[in-house]
A and B are shown apart, each in its own frame.
Chain A
Amino acid sequence: MTRSRPSLFSLVLSLPLLIWQVAFFLFPLIFLVAISFWTVRNFQMTPDLNFGNWDRILTRGTFWDAYARTAMLATASAALTSAIAFPAAYAISFKLSERAKQWLVFVLIIPFFTSYLVRVYSLQVFLSDAGIINAFLDMFGIGPFLMLNTTFGTLVGMVTLCLPLVILLQVFSLNFVNRDFVEAAHNLRCGRLRTVLAVIVPSARVGLVIAALFAFILSFGDFVSPLYLGGGNPPTLSIMITDITKSGQQWPRAAVVALMMIGTLLTVAFGAITYAYKERGK
């Protein structure tokens, strides 16, 4: 079989995407790699080929601690968000009428209307020691629980960030699950829970994994939740980047941290996508 060559028309159509990617992704990435070898003198960056920045960042325990912490937080956020989202996505996709489905999808888009920063700031009102949740618990004589400026606070923020998107992605992937399979499973006397685990989840694997991947990516680079709900205590990689640039304008060292983050995300994304599209039984 011979493949027909792409037409000029389709090439022209794909041009804007190509230009966009080169101008706003590839070029900045190359630039980032380049400045990671530059040096800073008197607050001015000078082009250079200096491996000192890499050496300095990668040999410090503080960096690796922050790295492990950030990776763990992002993994926890992806797992937690997926677990919370799935029952909701399942209900929307399988249990509701078409009309209710449309409304709920619309409702899930609403959180994107307000800035994430504003939403996180307002969460402080809920989570603080004298906040809404603790005031409510106090009525039953429990608490107060320390929630703000803790890892728990950070996770609440991250889940808030990712949840609507993850539910939407899960709903769309569940919508494509062949209903005949579900019926067949029931006919073969497969229980409800087992149908979900043995039929629905494997059929929707691609979408579920990609949804979790998005949660991981968003949480891994998130700066707002760790700072405003986690109190920057202890710092994550994104906080570390701002620290490094704030003191001494060390953009080259910040570039090293950023490149390590990009490398991690590329690896995780590649791994997740390979796993998602792996054919069953292989």
Chain B
Amino acid sequence: MTKTTHAPTRRRLLQMTAGAALATPFLSIRAAAQTVNLSMLAWYGHAEPDIVGEFEDANNAKFTPKYYTGGDNMLGLIAQSPAGTYDLILSDAEYVQQLNAAGYIEQLDPADYAFDDFYPEFQKFPGHWQDDKLYSVITRFGFLGIAHNTDVLSEKDASSYGVFSDPRVTGKLGHFDWHLPNLGQMSLAVGNPSPYDIDEAAWEKVQEATMALRGQVGGFFDYGGTFSSLNDGQMVAFGGIGDWITGVLEKNGAKVRTTIPEEGGLQWTESFSIGKGSRNHEMARKWIQWITSPDGQAKSADMAAYPALVPSKKGWEVLNSTNPAEAKRQNMVLGQHNAMDMIREGRIKYRQLPVQQSLEDWNDFWSDYKGA
């Protein structure tokens, strides 16, 4: 080959490369026009394929999750990002009011959502509505009680918070490291009927009863630590958690359960809101409609990351027919004494922010307790 034929080839190669490089943005713009990209701020698991896969395929949508751990972390993330960063926000009930007060979420039209399918208790969930306007749609909830190793403590043993001071639990009492559920449980343990709305005297009593347990404590654990210490039997009783952790372990064969004691248990509640300034309002609404539909609810109940109860009665029906084992495990079997009856008997109280003390007071006490 001569030099003259070689030179044009190289030039052509350069031209083609440049052409390809220039065309790339157009390709991605065309692709983006077809798929709707939904950003979701949520606890881990909510935008994983087992939950969103079917919806993504059916609606040509793609979820981009940003996972947080804890409501404070969530509020911090929203506060630090421009409006419209998150199309969908999954929040715990006690933080919805704060989201709303800060103007982070949009008002929703109740007619868009299947509230008629829901149990009456969840048709107007406190905090999700403000002056009769809807801001957030409940999607799942669960109970917090005493998580225990069933080899060491029977369900009867775990039927009272008194088990936390049992000699078998010495050095083996674990705490999920968040003051709100733990102190709420201690408030129930000392007999406060509304565990978060307590006066100074009752708050003193809660602190005293909690401090008395300090010698029993084997550790304060994050999400991962909670899993492993329950799984390997290092901790035999755990405060501040529920089936959302023990359920996952139980499904994998670990000997752990959550029992709701006689003094009562707490309820965590998750709901979806649409972020203020979302550019994908339509698709976000579609998602909330899907996840609160009977099929979506049955899927949500058995989420791989952590199982939950669901508010839709129709969702219960689907779960009972498609996945009776999980319905039984979660006490969601229709026509017998089930989780809804526990709520109706008044044994379950909503987890919420302290009413008469500031969040900081509770938090400070928790760090004193840890350091004691």
Contacts and interface: CB of A to CB of B under 8 A. Distances in A.
Interface string A211-238: 0000000000000000110111111000
B129 interface: no
Contact of A130 (B219, B221, B232, B372): B232
Interface stretch (A12-20, A178-186, A241-249, A260-268): A241-249
Contacts of A62: 367-368, 370-371
A149 B70 CA distance: 24
Interface string A149-177: 10000000000000000000000000000
Given A65-B371, A124-B232, A249-B75, A233 B222 contact: no
A249 B95 CA distance: 14
Interface centre among B75, B225, B363, B367 (most CB of A within 10 A): B367
Nearest to B217: A233
Given A124-B228, A148-B234, A246-B70, A233 B220 contact: yes
Contacts of A50: none
A229 B229 CA distance: 11
A234 B370 contact: yes
A43 B76 contact: yes
B324 interface: no
A233 B215 CA distance: 11
Contact of A233 (B78, B79, B359, B370): B370
A44 interface: yes
Interface centre among A42, A131, A235, A247 (most CB of B within 10 A): A247
Contacts of B234: 128-129, 148-149
B102 to A, nearest CB: 6
B171 interface: yes
Contact of B359 (A61, A146, A227, A248): A248
B360 interface: yes
B359 A235 contact: no
B110 interface: no
Nearest to B370: A235
Contacts of A149: 218-219, 229, 234
Interface centre among B75, B171, B371 (most CB of A within 10 A): B371
Nearest to A69: B371
B179 interface: yes
A130 B70 CA distance: 32
Contacts of B368: 61-62
Nearest to B179: A247
B72 A248 contact: yes
A276 interface: no
A240 interface: yes
A142 B217 CA distance: 24
Given A130-B232, A148-B234, A228-B225, A234 B75 contact: no
A68 B208 CA distance: 25
B193 interface: no
B130 interface: no
Nearest to B360: A248
B233 interface: yes
A66 interface: yes
Contacts of B17: none
Nearest to A231: B219
B72 A249 contact: yes
B243 interface: no
Contact of B220 (A42, A65, A148, A232): A232
Contacts of A65: 371
B194 interface: no
B275 to A, nearest CB: 15
Interface in B232-246: 232-234
Contacts of B70: 246
Contacts of A228: 225
Contacts of B73: 246, 249
6 contacts: A42-B75, A124-B232, A131-B232, A230-B219, A235-B220, A243-B370
Given A128-B233, A230-B219, A247-B363, 17 more contacts: A43-B76, A43-B102, A62-B368, A129-B233, A130-B233, A148-B234, A149-B229, A231-B220, A231-B225, A233-B217, A233-B220, A234-B371, A234-B372, A243-B367, A247-B72, A248-B363, A249-B79
Interface of B: 69-70, 72-73, 75-76, 78-80, 102, 171, 177, 179, 217-222, 225, 228-229, 232-234, 359-360, 363, 367-368, 370-372
Please give me the 4 A-B residue pairs with the lowest Cβ-Cβ distance, nearest first.
A231-B219, A249-B76, A62-B371, A232-B220
Interface of A: 42-44, 61-62, 65-66, 121, 124, 128-131, 146, 148-149, 227-228, 230-235, 240, 243, 246-249
